[in-house]
Structure 1
Amino acid sequence: MSLHFIKAEKRVLDSVIFPAFDLLVNPGKIAAVHSNVNIREQLIELLLGRTVLSNGEILIGGSSFSEKKLTIGFLFLQSGLYERLTVEEMLRFTQRLYHSDTSVDETIRAIQLEAMRKVKIKQLSFSERKRVQFGCVLLQDPDIFLLEEPDQNIDLESKRIFLSILQSLKKRGKTIFILTMNLESAITSADEVYRLDENGLHNVSIENPKEDIEETIAEPILIQPVRLEKIPTKVNDKIVLFDPLEIDYIESSDGQSFLHIKGESFPSVFTLNDLEERLSPFGFFRCHRSYIVNLQKVREIITWTRNSYSLILDDAPKSNVPLSKTKMATLRDRLGL
């Protein structure tokens, strides 16, 4: 089933998020759109049916999007997994939820977690959780797969599994639409790559043949700068390990760094400078001399005065993190604003 954007344009108030563009993704094709966070989120909201285009239309299989939106399966950047469940329980729950005929056992084999099927989600590494998340989408067996940053910060083994599943879906005639800020990831994963920005949609020429891309995959340093899976903290003489993307922000006070996670604070064994270096590949940003923020958790940028800014996070307490005036321009560049 095809996914077709026709003269699709999105404006918010007087701002153009993206100008009118045309894009057709046919069954059996993998297309990736490289864009900034704002454009990516707007495209996802459109395909979730939470907002509408300012101009143009979206067709699915030649029909109006509003009639066919349930044929899309979404792989979001945030996992949405139930940590108290085991791998098998999570997948069986998804199977029942979507009344799926797809085999759970086959899905576990596809994501290569047979040895961990009885392990709880909370005990898995970030990359293993990502595989479970992908397995949940496979169980939905949609006509169209929309994948948001599908291989961001996953390990080399998981990347190979992900690419193998993509090729399998392609052979089955599925339509695959990838949204990413990582151009190398887009080129590695997709048949067709586009860049969408304020100037419109542009085709990105893929010069490397498939054989060269496979050689590139074999070099983990060239794929993504993943250097660690866990950030340690010390609590009551115990070492507690957190996935980087669990962290909302980090604060330094009196020479001690604290990780803020789901409204709780945990002392870190690293300095703020160490954490900045370690977490930069995971999308963290030094927004203030005493703060590092997970940009994926930022919901709003507030201007209080000409020289005073704050970042409002999309966490439970709606945390307010200061943003230095000197960091504002850098942040705009990072977000593509």
Structure 2
Amino acid sequence: MYTITNLEIVQHGHVVVPSFDLTVNEGDFAIIHCSAKQGNVLLHYLHTQRQNKDHITFSQQKQIGYFTLEDTLYERLSVFDNLAFFHNLYNSKTDLNEILSTWGLTSFQSMRYLDLDDSIKRRVLIARAIVHEPSIVILENPYIGVDHETKQLISNNLILYSNRAKAVLLTLSDYDVEPFSLGRQYKMTNTTLVELSNEEALPTPFKKIAAKQAEKTLLFNPEEIDYIEAIDGECLLYVNEQSYVSPFTLQALEQQLVPFGFFRTHRSYLVNLQRVREVMQWTRNSYTVVIAKYPDGVPLAKSKLPLLYETLGIAL
């Protein structure tokens, strides 16, 4: 049994995570619907303050697996070598080849972690979190920024994991995921955590972003879009280093995509934060956000920097 008691997290004088109690038992699948920042701050606390017995009670601290969106692995090691390292570190008795197969990684096992796309990296990171068969696995927003196949794989494997008398606790702020019909679901507001009944379970909004290419209308999932640029009266969607013209204004796209983790870095740019790799300062008043596959980056207005860091849960 994993118990959180009277936990409240305050940053810079503001309550980020309101005071709440939660108990997760063996076989439970618990989902906390919350903002991306709340999920990030909560997971960071649960990971770094796991010995804090005033708020967290769990008899087997070594039997907790964690995944956060900030996690990474040894970039120049292969998938197999990375997982083997943690497998040996924990003296795990699990079959490593079975883990690779379960997470759809067999065909990628000889590739360097550096060379994987974001969806395959996510599979490796979650496999690493449970390679030692922890009694509970705690995950931050595991579905955001990955392809449909990986989302389905995560769902199926976590369900199977909980069915083996293991506990699963995850935060969820990505709306473009498969709906859940099982487990206990909670909604975290600015003031409290409430359990949702089956009738109140949050629906999964359907969202596609349209773009034009010749005579065709293309439809993109929000997580496929790397960033958006407004230029010469048009909005260009950048997807896998290709650009597509959108019929919407940047303001309209911002309203649609903020719930999916997009951020207005500049009057002319809207960025998918899951693609951001670095924030660079060029001059005293000039900043750039570096995005995966786009080493030149996009502008970041100095006035936007504090809000960006607050959104990412990073202290200035």
Q: Deviations over 1:180-212 (max 9, x none)?
A: 213674851750111112220111222399xxx
Structure 2, unmatched stretches of 5+, are: 210-222, 236-240, 280-284, 292-297
Aligned with 2:64 (options 72, 80, 91): 72
Inter-partner Cα distance in structure 1 for 2:13 and 2:200: 40
Match of 2:215 in 1: none
**Contact kept? 1:163, 1:189, Cα under 8 Å:** no
Q: Partner of 2:213 in structure 1? A: none
Give, in angstroms, the shift of residue 145 of structure 1.
0.4
Which residue of 2 is the match for residue 288 of structure 1?
A: 266
Instruction: Quote the Cα distance in structure 2 between the aligned partners of 1:88 and 1:333.
Output: 34
The DSSP-based 3-state class of the residue aligned with 1:152 is coil
Cα gap change, 1:112/1:152 in structure 2, threshold over 3 Å: closer, same or farther?
A: same
User: 1:35-54 maps to which residues of 2 (within 5 A)?
Assistant: 35-50=34-49
| Equivalent residue number for residue 57 of structure 2 | 59
Contact 2:225 2:272 in 1 (8 A): no
Question: CA separation in 1, counterparts of 2:93 and 2:194?
Answer: 39
CA RMSD of aligned residues (A): 4.9
AA aligned to 2:196 is: V
Map of 1:84 onto structure 2: 76
Q: Paired residue for 1:138? A: 130
Instruction: Map 1:179-328 onto structure 2 (within 5 A).
Output: 179-182=171-174, 185=177, 188=180, 191-207=183-199, 225=207, 280=257, 283-295=261-273, 321-322=300-301
Name segments (4+ residues, structure 1) moved above 4 Å: 50-53, 183-187, 222-227, 244-247, 249-255, 267-282, 296-300, 309-315, 331-335
Shift of the 152–226 alpha-carbon distance from structure 1 to 2, 3 Å rule, reads farther
1:52, distance to aligned residue in structure 2 (A): 9.3
- SS of 1:150 mapped into structure 2: coil
Counterpart in the other structure of 1:156: 148
Residue type matched to 1:128 in 2?
I
Matched position secondary structure for 2:3: strand
Structure showing the higher helix proportion among its residues:
1
How many residues were matched structurally? 283
Q: Report the Cα offset of residue 115 of structure 1.
A: 2.6
Distance across 2 between alignment mates of 1:186 and 1:128: 18
In 1, Cα distance between equivalents of 2:13 and 2:170: 28
Residue ranges of structure 1 left out of the alignment (5+ in a row): 62-67, 217-221, 228-243, 258-266, 301-308
1:320, 1:157 → 2: CA distance? 33
Q: Relative to 1, partners in 2 of residues 1:18 and 1:165: Cα closer, same or farther, differing over 3 Å?
A: same
In the alignment, residue 71 of structure 1 is paired with which amino acid?
A: Q
Deviation, 1:124, is: 3.0
- TM-score (norm. length: structure 1): 0.64
Report how far residue 226 of structure 1 moved.
7.7
Deviation at 1:108, TM superposition (A): 0.8
Change (3 A) 1:101 1:52: closer
CA distance in 1, matches of 2:11, 2:159: 37
Q: Following the alignment from structure 1 to structure 2, what is the Cα–Cα distance between the partners of residues 274 and 140?
A: 48
Shift of 1:178: 0.4
Please name the residue that 1:106 is paired with: 98
How far, CA to CA, are the matches of 1:208 and 1:16 in structure 2? Answer: 25
